């Protein structure tokens, strides 16, 4: 998209969402060649609804886009269903629930819990370690894309030795360094 294609402003959240989920011709062409349906785990988060709606708008007729979340905000589920995304409620911490999900050929993994979330470090660990491990096992025959924020740690110069994390890692300062072997 070029800068010229951007409107000068958006008059509503709906107009912005419509703009952000307008698929490019290249995405439409790519999804025509993609074999199988798309399962989005953690679709109820900040970026999940937009990604699922974009995928549905780009997908050829008959390709399913299935969004999975707890849907603690019922409005998210309703909006996804209105956009043609199949919404499935499931607790990803429940292995049985994972095993009952449709075995889509393509899985977009967006579930997680931000580090520094106060009061429940074990839940943060389970969401960020246990759930991805279970998903990898349950969907071992699928293509899995892990989608996460790029803003976990600050940008630092390559030669600096790495970023220092505080609350992001559960409260204890941790030095993040690349493998020097």
Using one digit for the tens of pLDDT, what is the confidence trace for 32-85?
A: 999 999 999 999 988 899 999 999 999 999 999 999 999 998 899 999 999 999
Higher pLDDT, 45 or 167: 45
Quick one: average pLDDT of 156-180?
A: 54
CA dihedral 3, 8, 11, 13 (to 10 degrees): 20
pLDDT attached to residue 45: 86
Distance CA 85, CA 102 (A): 14
The arithmetic mean of pLDDT across residues 120-125, rounded, is 82
Residue 1 has pLDDT above 60, yes or no: no
Q: Are 127 and 94 in contact (CB under 8 A)?
A: no
pTM score of the predicted model: 0.79
């Amino acid at each position: 998209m070029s800068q010229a294609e951007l409107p000068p402003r958006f008059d509503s959240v709906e107009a912005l969402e419509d703009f952000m989920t307008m698929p490019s011709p290249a995405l439409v062409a790519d999804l025509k060649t993609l074999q199988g349906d798309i399962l989005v785990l953690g679709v109820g988060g900040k970026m999940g609804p937009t990604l699922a709606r974009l995928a549905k708008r780009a997908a050829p007729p008959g390709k399913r886009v299935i969004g999975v979340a707890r849907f603690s905000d019922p409005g998210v589920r309703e909006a996804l269903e209105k956009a043609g995304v199949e919404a499935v409620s499931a607790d990803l911490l429940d292995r049985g629930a994972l095993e009952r999900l449709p075995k889509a050929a393509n899985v977009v993994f967006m579930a997680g819990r931000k580090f520094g979330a106060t009061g429940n470090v074990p839940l943060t660990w389970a969401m960020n370690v246990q759930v991805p491990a279970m998903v990898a096992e349950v969907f071992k025959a699928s293509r899995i894309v892990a989608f996460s924020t790029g803003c976990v740690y600050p940008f630092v110069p390559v030669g600096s030795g790495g970023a220092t994390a505080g609350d992001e890692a559960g409260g204890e300062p941790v030095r993040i360094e690349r493998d020097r072997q």
